[in-house]
Structure 1
Protein backbone atom coordinates (compact mmCIF):
# COMPACT_ATOMS: atom_id res chain seq x y z
CA UNK A 1 0.00 0.00 0.00
CA UNK A 2 1.17 3.54 -0.78
CA UNK A 3 0.39 6.52 1.45
CA UNK A 4 0.46 10.09 0.19
CA UNK A 5 0.05 12.96 2.67
CA UNK A 6 -0.57 16.56 1.64
CA UNK A 7 -0.20 18.98 4.55
CA UNK A 8 -1.38 22.53 3.90
CA UNK A 9 -2.14 25.62 5.93
CA UNK A 10 -5.87 24.93 6.09
CA UNK A 11 -5.82 21.16 6.56
CA UNK A 12 -4.20 17.88 5.61
CA UNK A 13 -5.31 15.15 3.23
CA UNK A 14 -4.11 11.57 3.18
CA UNK A 15 -4.69 8.88 0.57
CA UNK A 16 -3.87 5.20 0.95
CA UNK A 17 -4.12 3.04 -2.13
CA UNK A 18 -2.86 -0.20 -3.61
CA UNK A 19 0.69 -0.21 -4.94
CA UNK A 20 0.68 -0.09 -8.76
CA UNK A 21 1.29 -3.54 -10.19
CA UNK A 22 -0.12 -5.33 -7.16
CA UNK A 23 -1.46 -8.84 -7.22
CA UNK A 24 -4.39 -9.49 -9.59
CA UNK A 25 -7.68 -9.08 -7.81
CA UNK A 26 -6.09 -7.26 -4.89
CA UNK A 27 -7.11 -3.77 -5.96
CA UNK A 28 -9.45 -1.73 -3.81
CA UNK A 29 -10.77 1.81 -3.76
CA UNK A 30 -8.35 4.38 -2.32
CA UNK A 31 -8.93 5.41 1.28
CA UNK A 32 -8.88 9.14 1.98
CA UNK A 33 -8.93 10.94 5.31
CA UNK A 34 -8.71 14.59 6.28
CA UNK A 35 -6.97 16.10 9.27
CA UNK A 36 -5.55 19.32 10.70
CA UNK A 37 -3.19 21.55 8.75
CA UNK A 38 -0.01 23.23 9.95
CA UNK A 39 0.79 26.90 9.68
CA UNK A 40 4.21 27.23 8.00
CA UNK A 41 5.50 29.24 10.97
CA UNK A 42 5.17 26.10 13.08
CA UNK A 43 8.20 24.59 11.37
CA UNK A 44 10.38 27.44 12.61
CA UNK A 45 9.67 26.78 16.28
CA UNK A 46 12.04 24.74 18.46
CA UNK A 47 9.56 21.86 18.49
CA UNK A 48 8.60 22.36 14.84
CA UNK A 49 9.89 19.02 13.56
CA UNK A 50 8.14 17.18 16.39
CA UNK A 51 4.83 18.90 15.65
CA UNK A 52 5.07 18.15 11.94
CA UNK A 53 5.98 14.55 12.78
CA UNK A 54 2.93 14.22 15.01
CA UNK A 55 0.56 15.37 12.25
CA UNK A 56 2.21 13.02 9.76
CA UNK A 57 2.15 10.07 12.15
CA UNK A 58 -1.53 10.59 12.95
CA UNK A 59 -2.38 10.97 9.26
CA UNK A 60 -0.72 7.66 8.37
CA UNK A 61 -2.33 5.92 11.33
CA UNK A 62 -5.80 7.21 10.42
CA UNK A 63 -5.49 5.91 6.88
CA UNK A 64 -3.90 2.59 7.82
CA UNK A 65 -6.57 1.91 10.44
CA UNK A 66 -9.15 1.72 7.68
CA UNK A 67 -7.27 -1.07 5.89
CA UNK A 68 -6.35 -3.53 8.67
CA UNK A 69 -3.55 -5.87 7.71
CA UNK A 70 -2.45 -3.83 4.70
CA UNK A 71 1.34 -3.52 4.43
CA UNK A 72 2.56 0.00 3.77
CA UNK A 73 5.39 -0.04 1.26
CA UNK A 74 5.75 3.63 0.31
CA UNK A 75 5.11 6.91 2.13
CA UNK A 76 5.36 10.35 0.55
CA UNK A 77 4.85 13.48 2.64
CA UNK A 78 4.29 16.85 0.95
CA UNK A 79 4.21 19.65 3.48
CA UNK A 80 3.85 23.42 3.50
CA UNK A 81 5.42 23.40 6.99
CA UNK A 82 9.07 22.56 6.40
CA UNK A 83 11.25 22.10 9.50
CA UNK A 84 14.94 23.03 9.24
CA UNK A 85 15.77 19.34 9.66
CA UNK A 86 13.14 16.99 8.27
CA UNK A 87 15.12 13.85 9.12
CA UNK A 88 13.42 13.27 12.49
CA UNK A 89 10.06 13.18 10.71
CA UNK A 90 11.28 10.48 8.31
CA UNK A 91 13.13 8.62 11.09
CA UNK A 92 9.97 8.40 13.17
CA UNK A 93 8.05 6.92 10.27
CA UNK A 94 10.90 4.50 9.49
CA UNK A 95 10.75 3.12 13.03
CA UNK A 96 7.05 2.36 12.63
CA UNK A 97 7.09 1.28 8.97
CA UNK A 98 10.47 -0.33 8.47
CA UNK A 99 9.53 -1.98 5.17
CA UNK A 100 8.44 1.27 3.52
CA UNK A 101 10.42 3.69 1.42
CA UNK A 102 9.85 7.17 2.84
CA UNK A 103 10.33 10.63 1.36
CA UNK A 104 9.42 14.12 2.49
CA UNK A 105 9.17 17.03 0.07
CA UNK A 106 7.98 20.60 0.14
CA UNK A 107 4.41 20.65 -1.10
CA UNK A 108 5.54 22.65 -4.14
CA UNK A 109 8.09 20.06 -5.28
CA UNK A 110 5.57 17.24 -4.91
CA UNK A 111 2.94 19.35 -6.67
CA UNK A 112 5.26 19.85 -9.63
CA UNK A 113 5.63 16.09 -10.04
CA UNK A 114 1.87 15.64 -9.79
CA UNK A 115 0.89 18.55 -12.00
CA UNK A 116 3.57 18.30 -14.73
CA UNK A 117 6.13 15.58 -14.04
CA UNK A 118 8.46 17.08 -16.64
CA UNK A 119 10.34 20.36 -17.29
CA UNK A 120 8.09 23.39 -16.94
CA UNK A 121 6.44 25.65 -14.37
CA UNK A 122 3.81 24.41 -11.93
CA UNK A 123 1.90 26.65 -9.53
CA UNK A 124 -0.22 25.84 -6.52
CA UNK A 125 -2.81 28.57 -6.06
CA UNK A 126 -5.05 28.38 -3.04
CA UNK A 127 -4.88 29.97 0.40
CA UNK A 128 -1.25 30.69 -0.50
CA UNK A 129 0.83 30.54 -3.65
CA UNK A 130 3.90 28.53 -4.53
CA UNK A 131 5.51 28.34 -7.96
CA UNK A 132 8.04 25.66 -8.85
CA UNK A 133 9.94 25.30 -12.11
CA UNK A 134 11.97 22.31 -13.29
CA UNK A 135 14.63 22.98 -15.90
CA UNK A 136 15.67 20.49 -18.55
CA UNK A 137 18.86 19.99 -16.55
CA UNK A 138 16.86 18.89 -13.49
CA UNK A 139 17.33 22.07 -11.46
CA UNK A 140 14.40 23.33 -9.42
CA UNK A 141 13.56 27.01 -9.05
CA UNK A 142 11.08 28.17 -6.45
CA UNK A 143 9.21 31.46 -6.57
CA UNK A 144 7.06 32.65 -3.65
CA UNK A 145 5.74 30.20 -1.11
CA UNK A 146 6.82 32.72 1.53
CA UNK A 147 3.57 32.71 3.46
CA UNK A 148 0.95 35.42 3.97
CA UNK A 149 3.21 38.02 5.60
CA UNK A 150 6.04 37.85 3.08
CA UNK A 151 4.47 36.59 -0.13
CA UNK A 152 1.53 34.53 -1.38
CA UNK A 153 1.17 36.96 -4.27
CA UNK A 154 -1.93 36.19 -6.29
CA UNK A 155 -3.46 33.98 -3.63
CA UNK A 156 -6.94 33.63 -2.16
CA UNK A 157 -5.47 35.19 0.99
CA UNK A 158 -4.42 38.29 -0.97
CA UNK A 159 -7.82 38.62 -2.62
CA UNK A 160 -9.69 38.12 0.64
CA UNK A 161 -7.49 40.50 2.61
CA UNK A 162 -7.58 43.31 0.04
CA UNK A 163 -11.33 42.94 -0.39
CA UNK A 164 -11.95 43.13 3.35
CA UNK A 165 -9.70 46.18 3.58
CA UNK A 166 -11.65 47.82 0.76
CA UNK A 167 -14.95 47.00 2.44
CA UNK A 168 -13.88 48.43 5.78
CA UNK A 169 -12.36 51.48 4.08
CA UNK A 170 -15.72 52.13 2.42
CA UNK A 171 -17.39 51.73 5.80
CA UNK A 172 -15.01 54.36 7.24
CA UNK A 173 -15.76 56.76 4.39
CA UNK A 174 -12.15 56.82 3.19
CA UNK A 175 -12.44 54.31 0.37
CA UNK A 176 -14.38 54.01 -2.85
CA UNK A 177 -18.02 52.98 -2.51
CA UNK A 178 -18.20 49.28 -3.26
CA UNK A 179 -20.40 46.24 -2.90
CA UNK A 180 -17.53 44.82 -0.86
CA UNK A 181 -18.75 46.81 2.13
CA UNK A 182 -21.95 44.79 2.43
CA UNK A 183 -20.15 41.58 1.48
CA UNK A 184 -17.61 42.19 4.25
CA UNK A 185 -20.40 42.95 6.72
CA UNK A 186 -22.05 39.62 5.97
CA UNK A 187 -18.75 37.74 6.01
CA UNK A 188 -17.66 39.16 9.38
CA UNK A 189 -21.11 39.05 10.94
CA UNK A 190 -21.05 42.83 11.32
CA UNK A 191 -18.64 45.74 11.04
CA UNK A 192 -18.19 46.73 14.64
CA UNK A 193 -14.88 46.49 16.49
CA UNK A 194 -15.93 43.25 18.16
CA UNK A 195 -16.57 41.68 14.76
CA UNK A 196 -13.11 42.65 13.50
CA UNK A 197 -11.40 41.46 16.68
CA UNK A 198 -13.19 38.12 16.48
CA UNK A 199 -11.84 37.52 12.97
CA UNK A 200 -8.32 38.73 13.72
CA UNK A 201 -8.11 36.59 16.86
CA UNK A 202 -9.16 33.38 15.09
CA UNK A 203 -6.43 30.73 14.99
CA UNK A 204 -7.39 29.95 11.39
CA UNK A 205 -7.51 33.65 10.46
CA UNK A 206 -5.51 33.21 7.23
CA UNK A 207 -7.70 30.37 6.00
CA UNK A 208 -10.89 32.26 6.93
CA UNK A 209 -9.82 35.41 5.11
CA UNK A 210 -8.83 33.33 2.08
CA UNK A 211 -12.34 31.87 2.22
CA UNK A 212 -13.72 35.30 1.30
CA UNK A 213 -12.04 35.13 -2.12
CA UNK A 214 -14.79 33.18 -3.96
CA UNK A 215 -17.33 35.83 -2.94
CA UNK A 216 -15.02 38.58 -4.21
CA UNK A 217 -14.42 36.81 -7.52
CA UNK A 218 -18.17 36.45 -8.08
CA UNK A 219 -19.04 40.11 -7.45
CA UNK A 220 -19.89 42.35 -10.41
CA UNK A 221 -18.23 45.35 -8.79
CA UNK A 222 -15.37 47.50 -10.16
CA UNK A 223 -13.38 47.47 -6.92
CA UNK A 224 -13.73 43.72 -6.57
CA UNK A 225 -12.77 43.18 -10.22
CA UNK A 226 -9.70 45.35 -9.74
CA UNK A 227 -8.59 43.31 -6.72
CA UNK A 228 -8.98 40.03 -8.61
CA UNK A 229 -7.19 41.46 -11.66
CA UNK A 230 -4.27 42.65 -9.54
CA UNK A 231 -3.97 39.22 -7.94
CA UNK A 232 -3.93 37.57 -11.37
CA UNK A 233 -1.17 39.91 -12.56
CA UNK A 234 0.83 39.21 -9.40
CA UNK A 235 0.58 35.47 -10.02
CA UNK A 236 1.53 35.89 -13.68
CA UNK A 237 4.61 37.88 -12.61
CA UNK A 238 5.72 34.96 -10.43
CA UNK A 239 5.10 32.51 -13.28
CA UNK A 240 7.18 34.71 -15.58
CA UNK A 241 10.06 34.81 -13.14
CA UNK A 242 10.05 31.02 -12.82
CA UNK A 243 9.79 30.53 -16.59
CA UNK A 244 12.69 32.87 -17.32
CA UNK A 245 14.95 31.44 -14.63
CA UNK A 246 14.29 27.83 -15.67
CA UNK A 247 14.29 28.42 -19.42
CA UNK A 248 10.90 26.77 -19.90
CA UNK A 249 7.59 27.98 -21.29
CA UNK A 250 5.17 25.22 -20.25
CA UNK A 251 2.86 26.22 -17.40
CA UNK A 252 0.29 24.30 -15.36
CA UNK A 253 -1.64 25.45 -12.30
CA UNK A 254 -3.62 23.68 -9.59
CA UNK A 255 -5.47 24.81 -6.49
CA UNK A 256 -8.90 25.84 -5.29
CA UNK A 257 -8.63 29.42 -6.52
CA UNK A 258 -8.37 28.08 -10.08
CA UNK A 259 -11.85 26.61 -9.67
CA UNK A 260 -13.16 30.16 -10.08
CA UNK A 261 -13.87 30.72 -13.78
CA UNK A 262 -13.06 34.44 -13.73
CA UNK A 263 -9.66 34.05 -12.10
CA UNK A 264 -8.70 30.96 -14.13
CA UNK A 265 -9.59 32.71 -17.39
CA UNK A 266 -7.37 35.65 -16.46
CA UNK A 267 -4.44 33.31 -15.86
CA UNK A 268 -5.03 31.28 -19.02
CA UNK A 269 -5.27 34.40 -21.18
CA UNK A 270 -2.22 35.92 -19.51
CA UNK A 271 -0.18 32.81 -20.28
CA UNK A 272 -1.24 32.77 -23.91
CA UNK A 273 -0.41 36.46 -24.35
CA UNK A 274 3.11 35.70 -23.12
CA UNK A 275 3.49 32.83 -25.58
CA UNK A 276 3.44 30.06 -22.97
CA UNK A 277 1.78 26.68 -23.33
CA UNK A 278 -0.90 26.47 -20.64
CA UNK A 279 -1.71 22.90 -19.68
CA UNK A 280 -4.35 21.38 -17.50
CA UNK A 281 -2.75 19.68 -14.49
CA UNK A 282 -2.11 15.94 -14.82
CA UNK A 283 -3.38 15.42 -11.30
CA UNK A 284 -3.44 16.53 -7.71
CA UNK A 285 -0.72 15.92 -5.11
CA UNK A 286 -2.63 12.88 -3.85
CA UNK A 287 -2.39 11.46 -7.39
CA UNK A 288 1.40 11.77 -7.55
CA UNK A 289 3.38 8.82 -8.85
CA UNK A 290 5.67 7.64 -6.03
CA UNK A 291 8.09 6.05 -8.49
CA UNK A 292 8.48 9.42 -10.19
CA UNK A 293 9.32 11.15 -6.90
CA UNK A 294 11.84 8.46 -5.93
CA UNK A 295 13.60 8.87 -9.30
CA UNK A 296 15.81 11.66 -10.62
CA UNK A 297 15.53 14.61 -10.71
CA UNK A 298 12.89 14.85 -7.99
CA UNK A 299 14.69 12.52 -5.59
CA UNK A 300 17.63 14.89 -5.22
CA UNK A 301 15.25 17.59 -3.95
CA UNK A 302 13.76 15.51 -1.15
CA UNK A 303 13.95 17.05 2.32
CA UNK A 304 14.43 13.59 3.82
CA UNK A 305 14.74 10.17 2.24
CA UNK A 306 14.68 6.72 3.79
CA UNK A 307 15.08 4.17 1.04
CA UNK A 308 17.43 1.47 -0.12
CA UNK A 309 17.05 0.95 -3.89
CA UNK A 310 16.36 -2.67 -4.76
CA UNK A 311 15.12 -3.56 -1.29
Structure 2
Protein backbone atom coordinates (compact mmCIF):
# COMPACT_ATOMS: atom_id res chain seq x y z
CA UNK A 1 0.00 0.00 0.00
CA UNK A 2 2.80 2.38 0.92
CA UNK A 3 4.65 1.79 -2.34
CA UNK A 4 1.48 2.42 -4.33
CA UNK A 5 0.92 5.74 -2.53
CA UNK A 6 4.52 6.74 -3.18
CA UNK A 7 4.09 5.90 -6.84
CA UNK A 8 0.95 8.01 -7.08
CA UNK A 9 2.73 10.96 -5.46
CA UNK A 10 5.64 10.59 -7.87
CA UNK A 11 3.28 10.50 -10.87
CA UNK A 12 1.49 13.63 -9.73
CA UNK A 13 4.82 15.39 -9.28
CA UNK A 14 5.92 14.34 -12.78
CA UNK A 15 2.71 15.72 -14.29
CA UNK A 16 3.12 19.00 -12.39
CA UNK A 17 6.75 19.35 -13.48
CA UNK A 18 5.91 18.73 -17.13
CA UNK A 19 2.97 21.13 -17.11
CA UNK A 20 5.29 23.83 -15.77
CA UNK A 21 7.89 23.01 -18.43
CA UNK A 22 5.39 23.73 -21.21
CA UNK A 23 4.12 26.84 -19.48
CA UNK A 24 7.67 28.20 -19.13
CA UNK A 25 8.45 27.38 -22.78
CA UNK A 26 5.36 29.25 -23.87
CA UNK A 27 6.30 32.31 -21.79
CA UNK A 28 9.84 32.31 -23.16
CA UNK A 29 9.12 31.59 -26.82
CA UNK A 30 5.63 32.92 -27.45
CA UNK A 31 3.15 31.56 -29.96
CA UNK A 32 3.91 33.55 -33.09
CA UNK A 33 4.41 31.98 -36.52
CA UNK A 34 3.63 32.97 -40.13
CA UNK A 35 -0.11 33.43 -40.41
CA UNK A 36 -0.78 33.34 -36.66
CA UNK A 37 -2.95 36.47 -36.85
CA UNK A 38 -5.11 35.18 -39.72
CA UNK A 39 -8.74 34.33 -38.99
CA UNK A 40 -11.00 32.73 -41.63
CA UNK A 41 -14.23 34.61 -42.30
CA UNK A 42 -16.19 31.35 -42.27
CA UNK A 43 -14.63 28.24 -40.70
CA UNK A 44 -17.25 26.08 -42.38
CA UNK A 45 -15.88 27.12 -45.78
CA UNK A 46 -12.31 28.05 -44.96
CA UNK A 47 -10.79 26.18 -47.90
CA UNK A 48 -13.06 28.03 -50.30
CA UNK A 49 -11.98 31.26 -48.61
CA UNK A 50 -8.33 30.59 -49.47
CA UNK A 51 -9.11 30.16 -53.19
CA UNK A 52 -9.22 26.49 -54.30
CA UNK A 53 -7.22 27.30 -57.43
CA UNK A 54 -4.24 28.34 -55.28
CA UNK A 55 -4.39 25.76 -52.48
CA UNK A 56 -2.29 22.64 -53.20
CA UNK A 57 -2.98 19.64 -50.98
CA UNK A 58 0.62 19.58 -49.77
CA UNK A 59 0.37 23.24 -48.63
CA UNK A 60 -2.48 22.56 -46.20
CA UNK A 61 -2.01 22.19 -42.47
CA UNK A 62 -5.04 19.96 -41.95
CA UNK A 63 -6.88 20.47 -38.63
CA UNK A 64 -8.03 17.07 -37.39
CA UNK A 65 -9.79 15.43 -34.49
CA UNK A 66 -8.60 12.41 -32.50
CA UNK A 67 -11.16 9.65 -31.84
CA UNK A 68 -13.63 11.85 -33.67
CA UNK A 69 -16.92 9.98 -33.14
CA UNK A 70 -16.86 9.69 -29.35
CA UNK A 71 -19.22 12.54 -28.49
CA UNK A 72 -21.92 10.07 -27.34
CA UNK A 73 -19.80 7.07 -26.43
CA UNK A 74 -20.57 4.93 -23.38
CA UNK A 75 -22.96 5.89 -20.61
CA UNK A 76 -23.23 9.60 -19.68
CA UNK A 77 -21.48 10.49 -16.40
CA UNK A 78 -20.48 6.84 -15.87
CA UNK A 79 -18.25 5.44 -18.63
CA UNK A 80 -18.32 8.35 -21.09
CA UNK A 81 -15.70 10.52 -19.31
CA UNK A 82 -13.15 7.71 -19.67
CA UNK A 83 -13.45 7.51 -23.49
CA UNK A 84 -14.96 10.74 -24.80
CA UNK A 85 -12.41 12.72 -26.85
CA UNK A 86 -14.83 15.06 -28.65
CA UNK A 87 -17.96 16.83 -27.46
CA UNK A 88 -19.23 17.74 -30.94
CA UNK A 89 -20.86 15.57 -33.61
CA UNK A 90 -18.91 14.87 -36.80
CA UNK A 91 -21.07 17.39 -38.67
CA UNK A 92 -20.40 20.13 -36.10
CA UNK A 93 -16.67 19.37 -36.13
CA UNK A 94 -16.62 19.82 -39.91
CA UNK A 95 -18.60 23.06 -39.64
CA UNK A 96 -16.09 24.28 -37.05
CA UNK A 97 -13.29 23.61 -39.53
CA UNK A 98 -11.96 20.11 -38.88
CA UNK A 99 -10.89 18.40 -42.10
CA UNK A 100 -9.40 15.11 -40.87
CA UNK A 101 -11.74 12.69 -39.12
CA UNK A 102 -10.52 9.64 -37.17
CA UNK A 103 -13.10 6.83 -36.84
CA UNK A 104 -12.65 3.47 -35.04
CA UNK A 105 -15.14 0.68 -35.69
CA UNK A 106 -15.88 -2.95 -34.81
CA UNK A 107 -17.37 -5.89 -36.72
CA UNK A 108 -21.00 -4.71 -36.59
CA UNK A 109 -20.04 -1.27 -37.98
CA UNK A 110 -20.57 0.47 -34.67
CA UNK A 111 -18.06 3.11 -33.65
CA UNK A 112 -16.02 2.17 -30.60
CA UNK A 113 -13.16 3.28 -28.38
CA UNK A 114 -11.68 0.20 -26.79
CA UNK A 115 -14.57 -1.75 -25.28
CA UNK A 116 -16.99 1.18 -25.21
CA UNK A 117 -19.53 1.64 -27.99
CA UNK A 118 -21.53 4.43 -29.57
CA UNK A 119 -23.63 4.89 -32.71
CA UNK A 120 -23.35 3.14 -36.07
CA UNK A 121 -20.84 4.37 -38.64
CA UNK A 122 -23.92 5.30 -40.72
CA UNK A 123 -24.24 8.35 -38.45
CA UNK A 124 -20.72 9.42 -39.37
CA UNK A 125 -21.29 8.94 -43.10
CA UNK A 126 -24.57 10.85 -43.00
CA UNK A 127 -22.90 13.75 -41.18
CA UNK A 128 -20.12 13.83 -43.77
CA UNK A 129 -22.60 13.81 -46.65
CA UNK A 130 -24.68 16.54 -45.01
CA UNK A 131 -21.60 18.74 -44.73
CA UNK A 132 -20.56 18.04 -48.32
CA UNK A 133 -24.05 18.96 -49.54
CA UNK A 134 -23.79 22.35 -47.82
CA UNK A 135 -20.33 23.25 -49.16
CA UNK A 136 -18.63 23.26 -52.54
CA UNK A 137 -14.85 23.25 -52.15
CA UNK A 138 -13.96 21.63 -48.81
CA UNK A 139 -11.78 18.50 -48.97
CA UNK A 140 -12.04 15.94 -46.14
CA UNK A 141 -9.65 13.18 -45.12
CA UNK A 142 -11.80 10.43 -43.62
CA UNK A 143 -9.75 7.78 -41.82
CA UNK A 144 -11.63 4.65 -40.77
CA UNK A 145 -9.89 1.79 -39.00
CA UNK A 146 -10.89 -1.39 -37.25
CA UNK A 147 -10.26 -0.85 -33.55
CA UNK A 148 -7.51 -2.95 -31.98
CA UNK A 149 -8.89 -6.23 -30.65
CA UNK A 150 -11.90 -6.21 -32.96
CA UNK A 151 -12.67 -7.90 -36.28
CA UNK A 152 -13.14 -6.11 -39.60
CA UNK A 153 -16.74 -5.48 -40.68
CA UNK A 154 -17.61 -7.77 -43.61
CA UNK A 155 -17.32 -6.14 -47.05
CA UNK A 156 -16.75 -2.73 -45.48
CA UNK A 157 -14.82 -1.44 -48.48
CA UNK A 158 -17.90 -1.99 -50.66
CA UNK A 159 -20.04 -0.17 -48.11
CA UNK A 160 -17.73 2.88 -48.21
CA UNK A 161 -17.69 2.91 -52.00
CA UNK A 162 -21.49 2.67 -52.16
CA UNK A 163 -21.99 5.46 -49.62
CA UNK A 164 -19.31 7.91 -50.78
CA UNK A 165 -18.55 6.86 -54.36
CA UNK A 166 -19.44 10.15 -56.06
CA UNK A 167 -17.19 12.09 -53.66
CA UNK A 168 -14.17 9.77 -53.45
CA UNK A 169 -10.77 11.00 -54.63
CA UNK A 170 -9.05 7.87 -55.90
CA UNK A 171 -5.73 6.74 -54.47
CA UNK A 172 -3.13 8.64 -56.49
CA UNK A 173 0.37 9.85 -55.61
CA UNK A 174 -0.12 12.79 -57.97
CA UNK A 175 -2.95 14.14 -55.82
CA UNK A 176 -0.50 15.62 -53.30
CA UNK A 177 0.72 18.16 -55.87
CA UNK A 178 -2.74 19.10 -57.13
CA UNK A 179 -4.85 22.05 -56.10
CA UNK A 180 -8.28 21.68 -54.57
CA UNK A 181 -9.77 23.01 -57.80
CA UNK A 182 -8.03 20.26 -59.79
CA UNK A 183 -9.59 17.57 -57.59
CA UNK A 184 -13.14 18.88 -57.56
CA UNK A 185 -15.90 17.73 -57.66
CA UNK A 186 -14.29 14.80 -55.79
CA UNK A 187 -13.88 15.82 -52.16
CA UNK A 188 -13.13 12.89 -49.84
CA UNK A 189 -9.84 11.08 -49.34
CA UNK A 190 -11.04 7.95 -47.55
CA UNK A 191 -8.28 5.95 -45.84
CA UNK A 192 -9.52 2.46 -44.91
CA UNK A 193 -7.34 0.58 -42.41
CA UNK A 194 -8.62 -2.98 -41.86
CA UNK A 195 -6.83 -5.27 -39.42
CA UNK A 196 -7.03 -8.52 -41.43
CA UNK A 197 -8.94 -7.82 -44.63
CA UNK A 198 -6.98 -6.89 -47.78
CA UNK A 199 -5.73 -3.32 -48.02
CA UNK A 200 -7.29 -1.06 -50.68
CA UNK A 201 -5.69 -1.54 -54.08
CA UNK A 202 -3.51 1.06 -55.81
CA UNK A 203 -5.56 3.40 -57.96
CA UNK A 204 -8.83 2.39 -56.31
CA UNK A 205 -11.39 4.65 -54.66
CA UNK A 206 -10.05 4.00 -51.14
CA UNK A 207 -6.58 4.82 -49.81
CA UNK A 208 -4.47 2.22 -47.97
CA UNK A 209 -2.96 2.56 -44.48
CA UNK A 210 0.47 3.61 -45.72
CA UNK A 211 -0.93 6.92 -46.93
CA UNK A 212 -1.69 8.17 -43.41
CA UNK A 213 1.12 7.70 -40.90
CA UNK A 214 1.90 8.88 -37.38
CA UNK A 215 4.03 8.02 -34.37
CA UNK A 216 1.64 7.52 -31.48
CA UNK A 217 3.29 8.23 -28.12
CA UNK A 218 1.11 6.73 -25.39
CA UNK A 219 1.63 8.99 -22.39
CA UNK A 220 -0.22 11.34 -20.06
CA UNK A 221 2.85 13.54 -19.57
CA UNK A 222 2.43 16.73 -21.65
CA UNK A 223 6.05 17.78 -22.11
CA UNK A 224 7.06 14.20 -22.94
CA UNK A 225 4.39 14.08 -25.65
CA UNK A 226 5.24 17.56 -26.93
CA UNK A 227 8.96 16.77 -27.22
CA UNK A 228 8.28 13.36 -28.78
CA UNK A 229 6.02 14.97 -31.38
CA UNK A 230 8.81 17.42 -32.21
CA UNK A 231 11.36 14.60 -32.50
CA UNK A 232 9.26 12.36 -34.75
CA UNK A 233 8.15 15.26 -36.95
CA UNK A 234 11.75 16.40 -37.45
CA UNK A 235 12.58 12.96 -38.87
CA UNK A 236 9.97 13.20 -41.64
CA UNK A 237 10.67 14.46 -45.17
CA UNK A 238 9.17 17.84 -46.13
CA UNK A 239 5.54 17.78 -47.27
CA UNK A 240 6.58 18.76 -50.80
CA UNK A 241 8.62 15.59 -51.29
CA UNK A 242 6.56 12.87 -49.60
CA UNK A 243 3.67 10.85 -50.97
CA UNK A 244 1.81 10.20 -47.73
CA UNK A 245 0.08 12.23 -45.03
CA UNK A 246 1.82 12.50 -41.66
CA UNK A 247 -0.14 13.31 -38.50
CA UNK A 248 0.92 14.89 -35.23
CA UNK A 249 -1.59 14.62 -32.37
CA UNK A 250 -1.69 17.37 -29.77
CA UNK A 251 -3.09 14.98 -27.16
CA UNK A 252 -2.13 13.06 -24.06
CA UNK A 253 -4.05 10.05 -22.79
CA UNK A 254 -5.01 8.81 -19.32
CA UNK A 255 -2.89 6.12 -17.69
CA UNK A 256 -4.16 3.57 -15.16
CA UNK A 257 -1.33 4.33 -12.71
CA UNK A 258 -2.33 7.98 -12.44
CA UNK A 259 -5.20 9.08 -10.17
CA UNK A 260 -6.76 11.17 -12.98
CA UNK A 261 -8.18 8.84 -15.64
CA UNK A 262 -10.89 10.94 -17.34
CA UNK A 263 -9.91 12.13 -20.80
CA UNK A 264 -10.79 15.83 -20.64
CA UNK A 265 -8.68 16.93 -17.65
CA UNK A 266 -5.76 14.79 -18.82
CA UNK A 267 -5.68 15.96 -22.43
CA UNK A 268 -6.19 19.49 -21.14
CA UNK A 269 -2.57 19.38 -20.00
CA UNK A 270 -1.42 19.85 -23.60
CA UNK A 271 -4.53 21.14 -25.34
CA UNK A 272 -3.66 24.83 -25.11
CA UNK A 273 -0.18 24.49 -26.59
CA UNK A 274 -1.02 23.89 -30.26
CA UNK A 275 0.21 27.35 -31.29
CA UNK A 276 3.36 26.85 -29.25
CA UNK A 277 3.99 23.60 -31.13
CA UNK A 278 3.76 25.37 -34.50
CA UNK A 279 6.03 28.11 -33.15
CA UNK A 280 8.61 25.54 -32.09
CA UNK A 281 8.50 23.81 -35.46
CA UNK A 282 9.44 27.12 -37.04
CA UNK A 283 12.13 27.98 -34.54
CA UNK A 284 13.72 24.55 -35.02
CA UNK A 285 13.57 24.74 -38.80
CA UNK A 286 11.17 21.97 -39.80
CA UNK A 287 7.76 23.58 -40.09
CA UNK A 288 7.80 22.33 -43.68
CA UNK A 289 7.09 18.86 -42.23
CA UNK A 290 3.78 19.86 -40.61
CA UNK A 291 0.78 18.44 -42.42
CA UNK A 292 -2.00 16.96 -40.24
CA UNK A 293 -2.41 18.35 -36.74
CA UNK A 294 -5.07 16.68 -34.59
CA UNK A 295 -6.52 17.36 -31.17
CA UNK A 296 -9.07 16.23 -28.62
CA UNK A 297 -12.06 18.53 -28.02
CA UNK A 298 -11.39 20.70 -31.05
CA UNK A 299 -12.09 24.43 -30.78
CA UNK A 300 -12.05 27.43 -33.06
CA UNK A 301 -8.62 28.69 -32.04
CA UNK A 302 -7.03 25.36 -32.99
CA UNK A 303 -8.68 25.55 -36.41
CA UNK A 304 -7.60 29.17 -36.85
CA UNK A 305 -3.97 28.28 -36.10
CA UNK A 306 -3.97 25.60 -38.80
CA UNK A 307 -5.80 27.75 -41.33
CA UNK A 308 -3.50 30.69 -40.58
CA UNK A 309 -0.37 28.71 -41.39
CA UNK A 310 -2.06 27.30 -44.50
CA UNK A 311 -2.89 30.83 -45.64
CA UNK A 312 0.71 31.92 -45.11
CA UNK A 313 1.98 28.95 -47.17
CA UNK A 314 -0.47 29.67 -50.00
CA UNK A 315 0.60 33.32 -50.07
CA UNK A 316 4.29 32.41 -50.07
CA UNK A 317 4.90 33.81 -46.59
CA UNK A 318 5.85 30.49 -44.96
TM normalised by structure 1 equals 0.30
Greater RCO, CA 8 A, separation 6+? 2
TM normalised by structure 2 equals 0.30
